[in-house]
Amino acid sequence: MFMWPTDDRELFVDLGDMASGQRITHAYLVPGGVRNDIPSEFKTKAFEFINYFEKRLKEYDKIFYNK
């Protein structure tokens, strides 16, 4: 039960890494602006992940809450 959401967490970490360049401590905002521009493929990856995660949330609801 613990490992399913942990695996999906990696997708969030990957998006954070893509935006900030760091996997653990995301420091995207810095005094005076932002550190780097978001890569052009970020939007595509984010929408792919959202579509995937919407399905996963339904599965989580069915498995963990609606027995």
- What does the domain layout of the chain look like in residue ranges? 3-65
pLDDT at residue 48 in the model: 94
As separate numbers, helices (DSSP H) first and strands (DSSP E) second, the chain gives 2, 2
Instruction: Say how far apart CA 13 and CA 16 lie, in whole Å.
Output: 5
CA distances from 53 to 1, 24, 47, 65 (A): 17, 21, 10, 17
pLDDT the model gives residue 28:
65
Give the span between the Cα atoms of 39 and 47, in whole angstroms. 14
| pTM (predicted TM-score) | 0.69
| Beta pairing partners, 34 | 29
Q: How many CA atoms lie within 13 A of 8 on its CB side?
A: 16
Ranges of the chain with pLDDT below 50: none
